[in-house]
Structure 1
Amino acid sequence: MFLDWLLASFHHLAVFSLAAILAAELALTAAVLDDRAILRLARIDAWFGVMAAIALAAGLARVFLDAKGVDYYEANVFFWIKMALFVTIAVISVAPTFSFIVWRRELRETPAFRPPAGEVARLRRALYLEAALFALIPLCAAAMALATGR
């Protein structure tokens, strides 16, 4: 029982942290991106990767160590939808992460560097898409909890 609570707690804290990090990235990219904002974005995005790994590890630990058992998860369509959403978000997040890395490198070489407006707009569209898909994950989690495994 304690292990179930512990794994659920780590999983939920990591997922909520992902939501906060995504919101922070959207907020930071809404303003003019100066050198401080670019460096902050790169650091925040690194935490997005860390929290995604923790959420995934805790979630998988729940699948294999939770009292519900593997069969519950394997038979639950909402679990698989959650996994598909998570993977899709991960794939989409590669482009913003790459941009943040490139921008940080550019900034080191040229302190006056500012990312082009078009590039920032594309990045924000990706972040909004991530956020929209991310919003579906808790809906699937609630449905998953109510599903009988059909």
Structure 2
Amino acid sequence: MTPQLSDLLLALLHHLAVFALVAALFSQYLLLGGQPDAARLRTLGQLDKGYAALAAGILAIGFARAAHGAKGWAFYADNPVFWTKIAVFGLIGLLSAVPTLRFLRWQKQGGLPDASSWRGTRRWILAELLLLPLLPLLAILMARGIGL
């Protein structure tokens, strides 16, 4: 496989995984807009597992792109915009821990959460969604050599 084709495939996988992550997160947000019920709780748990797998995949593919892509690691390693993007992604990941722990606790307890906890969890998801647009903004800045 040529380096250009490898770079293209890594970029495609990275973008598709990001789109899927956004879809999973927005689906959680929508589900939490309704009333708690067992089916929603199960679906939220499944979406959350997919979200975690996608986040891990995005990191792995992203670092593979940085290390083996067309621009090479040197382009990213000394770029503070790249590290800011990683920090924002990490912050979103930290925020996602609260809903994940709640979903797990609710499933383990076998009951349904109270309406206040349900709405509160939706606000955590909203915080993640509000931070997400920073990621493509930072990517755009990097692509234009900002931070070098």
Q: Give the TM interval when normalised to the shorter protein.
A: over 0.9
Residues 1:120 and 2:123 are matched in the alignment: no
Q: TM-score, with normalisation over the residues of structure 1?
A: 0.92
Percent identity between the two aligned chains: 37
Q: TM-score, with normalisation over the residues of structure 2?
A: 0.93
The aligned runs of 1:33-48 (5 Å cut-off) are: 33-48=36-51
Aligned CA distance change for structure 1 residues 67 and 129 (closer, same or farther; 3 Å): same
The aligned runs of 1:42-121 (5 Å cut-off) are: 42-107=45-110, 113-121=111-119
Letter in 2 for 1:145: A
Paired with 1:64 and 1:89, the residues of 2 have a C-alpha distance of 23
Paired with 1:78 and 1:106, the residues of 2 have a C-alpha distance of 43
Structure 2 counterpart of 1:134 = 132
Task: List, as ranges, runs of 4+ consecutive aligned residues in structure 1 with deviation greater than 6 Å.
Answer: none
Paired with 2:11 and 2:51, the residues of 1 have a C-alpha distance of 19
Paired with 2:32 and 2:86, the residues of 1 have a C-alpha distance of 27
Letter in 1 for 2:50: W
Task: Please give the secondary structure, in 1, of the residue aligned with 2:70.
Answer: coil
Count how many residue pairs are aligned between Structure 1 and Structure 2.
Answer: 145
* Counterpart contact for 2:88–2:131, Cα < 8 Å: yes
CA offsets 1:113-148 (integer angstroms, 9 cap, x no match): 221122112211111111111121011111111125
Query: Structure 2, unaligned stretches of length 5 or more?
Result: none
CA offsets 1:82-133 (integer angstroms, 9 cap, x no match): 10011001111111001111111122xxxxx221122112211111111111
Superposition RMSD on alpha carbons, in Å? 1.1
The aligned runs of 1:3-22 (5 Å cut-off) are: 3-22=6-25
Query: Structure 1, unaligned stretches of length 5 or more?
Result: 108-112
CA offsets 1:33-79 (integer angstroms, 9 cap, x no match): 10000001000100000100110000010111112111100122221
* Counterpart contact for 1:72–1:149, Cα < 8 Å: no
**Which residue of 127, 142, 145 maps to 1:144?**
142
Task: Please give the secondary structure, in 1, of the residue aligned with 2:133.
Answer: helix
